[in-house]
């Protein structure tokens, strides 16, 4: 029996019911992030009609959630438990319904009380949206993980 990556154990222990990456979350996006060799994480997103905003386009709130989830999971991959303090999203092109997309996130810089992150959503080889985030340690969960 294989053991999950440390980031998966961390995500599962402190973030199991997330609407973006909770694997058993009914009605959630259920993204399965994988660690990248160069650092950061990646997940595939099907862009089904269930996520429609304007006809033919994925809702911008869903796109923002994909980006935020990727940055959170990049922090898990780095062994950090943190909350979003600031999220800046730039929508470059609409994300199309019916075509799969990929979301990637990475940690840009970490200091004791602040983690800076970045993410992008790519569909059909084109970057559709980018984000920058600032995260602060979770006031309870980060301390529990340190003590474990």
Q: What is the pLDDT along the chain (148 residues), one digit of tens a residue?
A: 344 565 677 777 888 888 998 888 888 898 999 999 988 999 999 999 999 999 999 999 999 999 999 999 999 999 899 999 999 999 999 999 999 999 999 999 999 889 999 999 999 999 999 999 999 998 876 555 555 5
Sorted by where each begins, the domain ranges of the chain are 6-147
CATH (residue range 6-147): 3.10.129.10
φ, ψ (nearest 5 deg) of residue 88: -120, 120
Residues near 94 by beta carbon (within 8 Å), at least 6 away in sequence: 54, 56, 57, 58, 128
Q: What tokens appear for 80 in the block?
A: 């950090």
- Report whether 55 contacts 44 (CB < 8 A): no
Strand order in the sheet with 82-91: 34-35, 41-45, 101-111, 114-123, 126-137, 82-91
Question: For residues 83 and 139, what is the distance between their CA atoms, to the nearest angstrom?
Answer: 9
């Amino acid at each position: 029996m294989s053991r999950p990556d440390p980031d998966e154990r961390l995500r599962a222990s402190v973030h199991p019911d997330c609407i973006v990456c909770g694997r058993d979350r009914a009605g959630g996006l259920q993204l399965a992030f994988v660690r990248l060799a160069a650092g950061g994480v990646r997940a595939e997103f099907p862009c089904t009609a269930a996520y429609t905003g304007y006809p033919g386009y994925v809702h911008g709130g869903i796109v923002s959630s994909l980006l935020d989830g990727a940055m959170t999971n990049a922090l898990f991959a780095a062994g950090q438990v943190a909350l979003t303090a600031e999220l800046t999203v730039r929508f470059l092109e609409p994300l199309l319904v019916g075509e799969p997309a990929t979301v990637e996130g990475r940690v840009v810089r970490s200091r004791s009380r602040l983690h800076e992150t970045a993410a992008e959503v790519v569909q059909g080889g084109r970057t559709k949206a980018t984000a920058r985030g600032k995260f602060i340690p979770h006031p309870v969960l980060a301390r529990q993980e340190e003590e474990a």
